[in-house]
Each structure stands twice: as structure tokens, then as C-alpha cells.
Structure 1
Amino acid sequence: MTTTDPGTPALPLRRIQPVGSAASVTCYVKTQWPRIGWPYIRPLPDTAFTDPAFTERYRPGVWTYPYVACCGVDFERPDESSGLKSVADGLHMPIYKIASTESADPRRRLKYLNRMRYASHVLTPQGYRQEPGFKDWEFQQFLPDRDPLPGSPITLDGHLFALRRPHDLSKGAFEKLLHHRIRNASLNSFLLTPAGREHCDLLGLVPEQQQRWTKYKFGGTPRIDKAEELYIFRPDGEDSDRMLIILERLVFDWVMGLIPRRQDAWRNPGQYSRRR
């Protein structure tokens, strides 16, 4: 296991999957972790994307591919748990990376994640420590039970959603808006909530030492930031349904003017924070 070594659980956990199961949640825990999009999420009307009120305003822009990814099977050491899979195993929670790419070949994004070892660091009392297994990121399939609405600018394209962004919605603003709408299921944030702390206490873990970090290098100036694109998420069924609803609503709300045009405020200053 690559997360901070767990202590002794407060009580023995009841196993719900057999020993050797590849599932992340193998024992019953009472924690009611959040589902992305908050409890009140609702789909748009069936005619939302065919109504002239939308079609007369929508101008398609760049293709963008929202994805869900995981890592953790080391082909050289298949007997050892590692990567994000190990984090999920240790916390008994379904954890995935959710973000988007506009690369013509989305698989290129995986190369970047592997190169930077995304989410491979933890913060211990001795400082940051990098853990193994974060160099084999792979896309996982979204498996929604519902189809996109008629005329929707979003389709399910193999492992990924394919989304035609509105022409005046930048990739950076799109990702900020997406994170805002699913932030209730953010792993790093959840761990510090009362429910997250109770969950970690049940497992004998320190919440702050379960948060994930990424080390970025910009020439001679490295920077370590929280890996904020990790979410509690189940790709099969309801959570993928919710993701589709969230994406459709995001595009619809932007086109219909229901989201303030504040792209300057959404720019991530992190890459510029250490310039002199």
C-alpha cells in the first residue's frame, strides 16, 4: 500500500468482497460519501438542445474530452498495490481523476500525467514523500445508464465524453466550472470534513496524510500543489449519469447566459506564482 501506513481500525471491518478481489471497496464502512453534483442535481428538459432559444445562440468551438482515469498496476511488481488504486484500497473508497483534454489524440494526456507522476506525493511529518505506481495512468470508461439529450453537444466516445465547447468558453474556464460543479466529491476536500475525518478515524488514518499532491517542475523552480482533480466517483451507473447531466447543464447554462463571463478571474495563477 502506498498511502501513509494505516493504524489499527477502531473496529474490525466486515468484508463484502472476497480476498483477492480487485474492487477498491472490499469491506463495509458506514461512511456516506458524496455523489458528484450535490443531492439536487436534475437533468435538463428533453427539448433543451433542440429549442431555438438554444440553437440560435450556440456556436460550436473546440472539441473537448472529459475523462476519468486511474493508475496503480505496476507490471513489474503486480504483487504490490500502488498508485491511485492503492489510495482507494487504503481508504475503502472509489477514487478517480476527473478532468478534460482538448488534444486531438486524448491519449497524449496520459503521457503528461505519467511524466509528472500526478498525485504521487503525500505530506508526512517528515515532509513530502513521493510514492510509486503513478506512471501508468489509464482512461476508465464512463458507463452511464442514460443517453445524451436529443441535439446534445455531448456524446459518449468510447472511454470518454466528447464535448463541443461553445466558441467563447475557454478550456481553462470550462475546467474551473466543471470542478466547481463537482467539488462536493473532491477527495482532498472531503477528507477534512467531519464525515471524512470520522471515516479516516474508523480506519486509523490521519486525514491530512491521505491528501494527494503533485510536484511540478518549471526549470529550476519546482512547485508542489494539491492534486485537486481526484474525486469520489463510480464510473458505472449513477455517477456517470450525473456527470453527463453536469456537462449538459454546464454547456446549456453558458450558452444561455446563466453563467457570468468571468474568465479573467478563473485563470490559474499557479504557474506564475514564483516568477520574480
Structure 2
Amino acid sequence: MTQSVRTPSAPNPRRLTPRRLKDPFSPAAVREWAPTQWPEIGGPSLSLEPDKRFKSAAFRQLYRPGERIAVYVPGCRGLRVAVGQALHIGAWKISTSQIEARGIEPRLQALGRDRYAACYRRAGRIVEDEGFDEWVLSTLPPELVVSPSAPIVLHGRGIEVILPTTLSAVTFDRSLRHALADAEMGSWASSPAGLEHCAWFGLSPSRFRRLTRYDMCGSARLSKAEEIYLFKPHLQAQRLVRVIENVVLAHVLPGPLPHRKPRARPAYSPPATGSSAVKAQLVM
């Protein structure tokens, strides 16, 4: 039996050619439109509708307000130039901070000192890009909506979350990163879609698997920068709000609750406004 050999078809030149959105000297992160189906935080099935479960008797019975934490979106010139303009999409860090413990401003300064995500591997060598020494907070659009009675307060440059007493800040951070994993840049660059996109534009995928070189008392330690996401704050911030809400709901209401008569407990009332301590950190 003769086995036929399939000749690969030539690439479609229209598919390989991005459409220019900005002039070559624009400071915008996205200066060309690329024909790529980008991932979105929360995945394609994420609902943007307000969630009624926060007002349910089950949630009010089980939720007790505990530690306050902030979710914020910092960026820097290095991410915009070395990453965003090369990939043709914005890339931002999405992080959490225990506001009372350290606050937001010290975290931004630490990111700059460490030059977070400045490095990557190329041909067996470590390359360090410029522009990762000064980080700023992204503003969030004013039209964001929180689900009724959700323990979340929106600020101009961050999202305040009142965690349940049974959910630690460390566990919340880990759960949030897992929920955002669809759009984590390093993993996406190694996926079939990411490899194909990089091949279209002659980019090395390793350039987008970012590293941080930490000074450990005279020796250097390279760590993966796993909190960089393909994310557009002004277009996708509502998705971030819903992802945060889902993390809280999944912890308080992890599955179908057994049928039982609720015990008499004082009902939780969500905060109408953020605390002054939080506002001092998030409103700049």
C-alpha cells in the first residue's frame, strides 16, 4: 500500500500580518492588532452577571468577616515595552497585599528593587531587560459593579476584599492565582496557541517566561515570575472582580449545603465604603 505524504500548506500571509493601530513611536503597549485568540482571566465560561448567592441565607449564615486584603494591578515600562509591544497585547502583574501588614506602596518599591520579571533565558544565558525598576498601580474603570452584599469594596487603584475568617491571606492568594491561570503569560507562551503566535512574529517563547533575579545576601536566586498575566485593566477589570467573588464563594459555599435549620447568628452587613487605612493605600 502506498502511503501518501501530505505537503504542508503555505501560511496565509493575511494571517501573519498584523494591522497597525498606532504609529511606531506611540507609547501604547498595543500598537498593532494581531490575529490571535487571546486568553482571558477566568476562562471563557466566566459569567459577568452579578451573583445572587451573596444575599442567600446560606452565605449569610456561614460567612464571618475576617482579614482585609487588597488586590492590585501594578505595571512598569519594561512590561509595556519589552513584553506588551512585542506580543501585541498588554501584560500586567496581578497581586495581593495584606494592607495592614505592609501596604501597597512598600510592595511597589520592593518590586522595583528586585526588578521583578526583568529576566529571561536566551541561548542558555540570562538576559535582563530595562524598565523594571519602577512600578505603578493601574487605575480601574469607575463603572465596575460588585455583586450585591459581596464583601468587596472598589477603589480607584485596587480592590479591597474582606476575607472570611476561615480563609487566610496566603490561601486566598494561592486560590486567586489558580483562578487566573488561563491568562498567565509564561504558561500561555508554552501552549500551542502561544507557540504559534510567537512563530508568526519570529519571537522566542522563552522571552515571555519571565524570571526574577533575587539578591540572597551575595548570591543570586532565579525565580519564575508567575504573576504576569495577559490582561487589559480598562477592558477586563470586571472579569477580575467576578474572579475574586468566585474565590470567596467557592470557599464559603464549596458545594451543595446539607438541608438544615440555620442557627441564630447576627447577619453580616457588607461595608458601604472602604476603611480609611485602605483608601490611603489605594487612592493615589
TM-superposed CA distance for 1:106, in Å, is: 1.5
Structure 1 stretch displaced more, 21-30 or 112-121: 21-30
Equivalence for 1:251: 248
> Does structure 1 residue 188 correspond to structure 2 residue 217?
no
Contact 2:50 2:146 in 1 (8 A): no
Among all aligned residue pairs of Structure 1 and Structure 2, give the percentage whose two residues are the same amino acid.
Answer: 34
Number of the residue aligned with 2:158 = 160
Q: 1:173 aligns with which of 171, 196, 202?
A: 171
How far apart are residue 197 of structure 1 and its match?
Answer: 0.9
Q: Does the CA-based 8 Å contact 1:43-1:249 persist in structure 2?
A: no
Letter aligned with residue 185 of structure 1: A
Quote the Cα distance in structure 2 between the aligned partners of 1:44 and 1:218. 46
Unaligned runs of 5+ in 1: 1-9, 73-82, 260-276
Cα shift at 1:146: 3.8
Shift of 1:220: 4.3
Query: Which residue identity lines up with residue 13 of structure 1 in the other structure?
Result: P
1:123/1:144 CA distance change after superposition, 3 Å: farther
Deviation for aligned residue 1:98:
0.6
Q: 1:122 to 1:46 in 2, by over 3 A?
A: closer
TM-score normalised by L of structure 2 = 0.78
Structure 1 residue 227 displacement after superposition: 0.5
1:17-166 to 2 correspondences below 5 Å: 17-43=22-48, 46-72=51-77, 83-86=78-81, 87-104=83-100, 105-143=103-141, 145-166=143-164
Give the 3 Å change call, closer, same or farther, for CA 203–162 of structure 1 in structure 2.
same
Provide the C-alpha distance between the structure 2 equivalents of 1:118 and 1:48, rounded to a whole number of angstroms. 38
Q: Residues 46, 169 of structure 1: CA spacing in aligned structure 2 closer, same or farther, 3 A cutoff? A: closer
Q: Which runs of 5+ in 2 are unaligned?
A: 1-14, 257-284
Compute the displacement of 1:21 (Å).
2.5
Distance 1:125 1:45 in 2: 48
Q: Which residue of 2 aligns with 1:223?
A: 221
Deviation at 1:126, TM superposition (A): 4.1
Deviations 1:52-94 (A, max 9, x none): 211121111111111111101xxxxxxxxxx111111111111
Question: Contact 1:144 / 1:240 at 8 angstroms: preserved in 2?
Answer: no
Q: What is the CA-CA distance between 1:221 and the residue it aligns to?
A: 4.5
Q: Provide, for residues 168-206 of structure 1, a one-character-per-residue CA deviation record: whole Å limited to 9, x for no partner.
A: 212221111111111010100111111111111111111
Query: TM-score, with normalisation over the residues of structure 1?
Result: 0.81
Q: Distance in 1 between matches of 2:31 and 2:218?
A: 43
SS in structure 2 at match of 1:134? coil
1:22/1:220 CA distance change after superposition, 3 Å: closer
Contact 1:142–1:236 (CA under 8 A) maintained in structure 2: yes
**Which position in structure 1 is the counterpart of 2:7?**
none
Give the secondary structure class of the aligned counterpart of 2:214.
strand
SS at match of 1:48: helix
C-alpha distance in 2 between matches for 1:46 and 1:120: 38
Indicate conservation of the 8 Å contact 2:39/2:183, yes or no: yes
The number of residues matched between the two structures is 239
Note closer, same or farther for the CA distance 1:116–1:148 as it changes in structure 2 (3 Å cut): same
